[in-house]
A and B are shown apart, each in its own frame.
Chain A
Amino acid sequence: MTGQADGSDLDPQAETYAGLGDWTPEALGDGRVLPVVSAPNPVLSRAGTEVDPTARETVQLAADLIATMRVSPGCVGLAAPQVGVGAQVFAVNITGHPKAVTVHGTFVLCNARVVEATRWKAGREGCMSVPDLTGDVKRASRLVVEGVLPGSGKSVRLVTDGFEARALQHEIDHCGGLLFLDRVAGAHAIYQRKVYL
């Protein structure tokens, strides 16, 4: 599934693209692998600030998030607060994940927000910043998100579902200073991550 054109109100002056258009992560340039911070680091509990998606430091941050995500086994998304930066920027790539339905590949969004969320389903989540625990969290399985691409500064509207929808909500939560721990379903919805020998 790809996105659908619409009249986004993110930036009335900007053309809104359905899906990612011709944006590719390669255009960001080389990224650096950054250390990932863990809870209870306070940066994870503060709402990130909005960024200028065309600013050089935002483009560098976007490239760094992708580079860090790529070297982290099993990582399907990484938000700026997780590398110690309180900003509304995150990277996602669920390509090849067994639970993937709609897949937009590797992308980064700035200043993203959820505009439609339906078909709520419970599912188990983990997080690189909470390495020892997982939890059951209810998330929308049909999602519309609006945000801005780093570099080009183009506003986009992504329509997605399933696991990519879950990943997007998890990362947008990070940008708002929330962890999956803040949304667990109940007292017995947190689990010690299993260590397999």
Chain B
Amino acid sequence: MNELAITVIGRDRPGIVADVAEVLARLGANLTDSTMTRLRGHFAMTLICVGPAAPEVEAALAPLAADGQLLATVRAVTPDGETAPAGEPYVMAVHGADRMGIVAAMTRVLAAAGGNVTDLSTRLAGSLYVVVAEVDLPPGAAEGLAGRLADAAAGLGVEVTLRPAEPDLL
């Protein structure tokens, strides 16, 4: 069996998830991890599944994109080998006036500290731009990082906070 990475992006309408899942089920492709959201009203779905060869899945999804409103791509991916050791989970929140390069500059500071962004969302609301990133940091990397993030934020004219993530374990 093949591990496949599938993306479906386009104009939102009722039934896209059902249509995609139906095609995959018919092919015997087992949907493992998936995420779907709407980004400024556009439908956006990414999923990993295990099933037949990529060309067969892509051909089966092609009718969904026939009207030009959706784009579906299928790529074979190599199954994950070793899982990287988990770091210390932190949440970085950034907000301020929208301008070019906020995500690039702030995530570069995280990357330079060895941080691995595990989840990210951005929102533009009027002139307010908000970035929230969940990041795993190597042990001890958080020390001094808040100061470097503050320096980068000051250069962009935005605000930043870095806090330990607090998972609720029940």
Contacts from A to B (Cβ < 8 Å): 38-40, 45, 122, 130-133, 138, 178-179, 181-190, 192
Contact = CB atoms under 8 A, between A and B. Distances in A.
Classify the secondary structure of B's interface with A: strand
Interface residues on B, range: 20 to 34
A19 to B, nearest CB: 32
Contacts of A192: 123, 125
B77 interface: no
Given A39-B95, A181-B95, A187 B133 contact: yes
B96 to A, nearest CB: 5
Given A122-B168, A131-B125, A182-B159, 10 more contacts: A39-B95, A40-B128, A130-B128, A131-B126, A132-B125, A133-B130, A182-B93, A182-B95, A184-B93, A187-B119
A190 B132 contact: yes
Contacts of B125: 130-133, 192
B126 A38 contact: yes
B166 interface: yes
B69 interface: no
A188 B119 contact: yes
B123 A190 contact: yes
A38 B96 CA distance: 11
A186 B161 CA distance: 12
A119 to B, nearest CB: 13
A125 to B, nearest CB: 14
B146 interface: no
A182 B161 contact: yes
B91 A184 contact: yes
A40 B123 CA distance: 13
B143 to A, nearest CB: 20
